[in-house]
């Protein structure tokens, strides 16, 4: 996973003590929030909800005695499951355009030079949810097609098909997005 860089390794142990948890929280929160914000069309409410669900789930694990040795990758794993659940809900409703509209309406506090990134986020939000999930898992989270298939309950061939369609959808959306 490309985001597991050296910096994240400085949080090495995680337990239920408030001091330890706070250090972990400060390190992990912007990463997890950014993870969701970029993958959910830039929607602040959705990113906040999923971030909250992720951290609550992590606390639930700690309360049950879990002591992750690599807490940042661990919470990314929880986040990925929350994201996939979110995509599945969206795929059932399949309202990518509504999501894209949300992304454009949901004004964000971005610096001027963030316009290009904003466009990418909006374009990604316009991609159908099933294709978006594959794009994100393959290109952002660095999973292989087989691993993505395992996560999504699809064959490798189906993942390749979704990936190809997702790429076309993304390119089309990227060219059409106006900010």
- 162 is a contact residue toward other proteins (CB under 8 A): no
Q: What's the min distance (Å) between Cβ of 74 and other proteins?
A: 15
- 157 is a contact residue toward other proteins (CB under 8 A): no
Tell me how far apart the alpha carbons of residues 129 and 61 are, in angstroms, rounded to a whole number.
28
The structure tokens 């989270």 sit at 141
Tell me how far apart the alpha carbons of residues 121 and 69 are, in angstroms, rounded to a whole number.
32
- 109 is a contact residue toward other proteins (CB under 8 A): yes
Calculate the CA 158 to chain-centre distance. Answer: 21
- 88 is a contact residue toward other proteins (CB under 8 A): no
- Residue 68, both tokens: 């992750």
Calculate the CA 149 to chain-centre distance. Answer: 17
Q: Can you tell me which of 47, 102, 125, 148 binds other proteins, judged by CB under 8 A?
A: 47
Tell me how far apart the alpha carbons of residues 136 and 113 are, in angstroms, rounded to a whole number.
23
Binding positions for other proteins, rule: CB under 8 A? 2-3, 16-19, 21-22, 25-26, 29-31, 33-35, 37-39, 44-45, 47-49, 51-53, 55-57, 59-60, 62-65, 106-112, 116-117, 120-121, 124, 135-136, 138-140, 167, 170-171, 174, 179
């Amino acid at each position: 996973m490309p985001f597991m860089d050296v910096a994240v390794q400085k949080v090495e142990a995680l337990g239920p003590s408030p001091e330890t948890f706070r250090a972990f929280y400060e390190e992990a929160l912007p990463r997890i929030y950014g993870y969701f914000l970029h993958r959910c069309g830039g929607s602040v409410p959705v990113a906040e909800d999923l971030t909250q669900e992720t951290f609550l789930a992590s606390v639930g694990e700690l309360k049950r005695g879990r002591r992750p040795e690599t807490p940042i990758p661990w919470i990314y794993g929880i986040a990925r499951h929350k994201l996939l659940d979110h995509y599945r809900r969206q795929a059932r409703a399949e309202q990518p355009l509504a999501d894209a509209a949300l992304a454009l309406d949901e004004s964000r506090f971005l610096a001027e030079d963030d316009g290009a990134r904003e466009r990418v986020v909006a374009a990604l939000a316009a991609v159908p949810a099933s294709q978006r999930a594959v794009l994100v898992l393959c290109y952002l989270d660095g999973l292989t097609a087989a691993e993505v298939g395992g996560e999504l309950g699809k064959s490798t061939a189906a993942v390749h098909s979704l990936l190809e369609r997702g790429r076309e959808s993304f390119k089309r959306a990227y060219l059409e997005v106006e900010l």
